[in-house]
């Protein structure tokens, strides 16, 4: 279980998060919603390690991660996507996706330089895995295309595929539906359901509340850095406070 307990974060005088708790279990979709400035992305950044925690603990299976870097957490099987896709432009879609399997690359620089069999084995295996993931999420048509020529939706799905190549236990999605057409959001939902079936724990930070309620097992709602409501989609959707926050005072 991936957990954030009573985490708080300030930026100068601004309190971004105040004693928020959230946990993510394998094989579930946990939606995280809130208006702009509610702290959703901040929380995701803190769980993945991009922001240090001011107070509170981020832990995996009871082991505190507070002092671990982004890379170290990724090595533990915590993958993520970004609000604004971070891709390697000149490289192909396949190359970009293969990079997601880095944590399964055991070959050292020297072993790689010497063309050791293990390095080639890892290369072949990751290429195969990446190809399957890309085809699975819907990017079969663009495997060799340079990433800087991709449409927005393609970029998003590439990032998801990349996150999967490393066989993650948890996948943190940062507003993956942003800029997608309704059809594409349906595709996204299909993909997320398959991931859930496969036992991956998914944190879905999203603005599209309908989409979140549709697909999540549990939902957490934030406002101005505080936890407003946590529960099943129905509980959260019908909560008076949540409605007030979303429809304005």
CB 85 within 8 A of CB 36: no
Stretch that binds another protein, among 32-40, 103-111, 202-210, 240-248 (CB under 8 A): 103-111
Residues touching another protein: how many (CB under 8 A)? 73
1 lines the binding site for another protein (CB under 8 A): no
43 lines the binding site for another protein (CB under 8 A): no
Residues 154 and 209: their CA atoms lie apart, in Å, by 22
Stretch that binds another protein, among 114-122, 208-216, 229-237, 238-246 (CB under 8 A): 114-122
Residues 35 and 117: their CA atoms lie apart, in Å, by 51
Q: Which has the closest alpha carbon to 100: 140, 124, 73, 129?
A: 129
Interface positions, 139-178, toward another protein (CB under 8 A): 139-142, 145, 150-151, 153-154, 157, 162, 164, 166-167, 169
Q: Mask of contacts with another protein, 201-240, x by CB under 8 A?
A: ----------------------------------------
Residues 118 and 139: their CA atoms lie apart, in Å, by 28
Stretch that binds another protein, among 53-61, 66-74, 205-213, 225-233 (CB under 8 A): 66-74
Residues 167 and 129: their CA atoms lie apart, in Å, by 9
Interface positions, 14-33, toward another protein (CB under 8 A): none
129 lines the binding site for another protein (CB under 8 A): yes
> How deeply is 39 buried, as exposed, middle or buried, from its count of CB atoms within 10 A (0-12, 13-18, 19+)?
buried
């Amino acid at each position: 279980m991936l957990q954030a307990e009573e985490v708080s974060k300030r930026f100068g005088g601004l309190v971004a998060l105040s004693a928020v708790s959230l946990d993510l279990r394998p094989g579930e979709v946990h939606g995280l919603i809130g208006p702009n400035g509610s702290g959703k992305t901040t929380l995701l950044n803190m769980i993945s390690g991009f922001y240090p925690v001011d107070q509170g603990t981020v832990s995996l299976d009871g082991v505190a991660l507070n002092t671990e870097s982004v890379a170290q957490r990724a090595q533990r099987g915590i993958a993520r996507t970004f609000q604004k896709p971070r891709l390697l432009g000149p490289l192909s879609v396949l190359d970009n996706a293969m990079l997601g399997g880095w944590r399964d690359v055991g070959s050292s620089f020297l072993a790689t330089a010497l063309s050791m069999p293990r390095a080639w084995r890892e290369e072949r295996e990751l290429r195969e895995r990446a190809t399957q993931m890309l085809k699975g999420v819907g990017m079969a048509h663009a495997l060799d295309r340079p990433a800087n020529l991709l449409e927005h939706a393609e970029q998003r799905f590439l990032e998801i595929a990349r996150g999967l190549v490393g066989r993650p236990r948890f996948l943190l999605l940062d507003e993956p539906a942003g800029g997608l057409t309704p059809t594409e959001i349906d595709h996204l939902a299909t993909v997320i359901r398959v991931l859930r079936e496969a036992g991956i724990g998914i944190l879905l930070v999203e603005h599209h509340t309908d989409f979140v309620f549709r697909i999540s097992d549990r939902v957490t709602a934030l406002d101005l850095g505080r936890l407003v409501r946590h529960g099943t989609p129905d509980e959260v959707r019908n909560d008076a406070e949540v409605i007030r926050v979303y429809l304005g005072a």
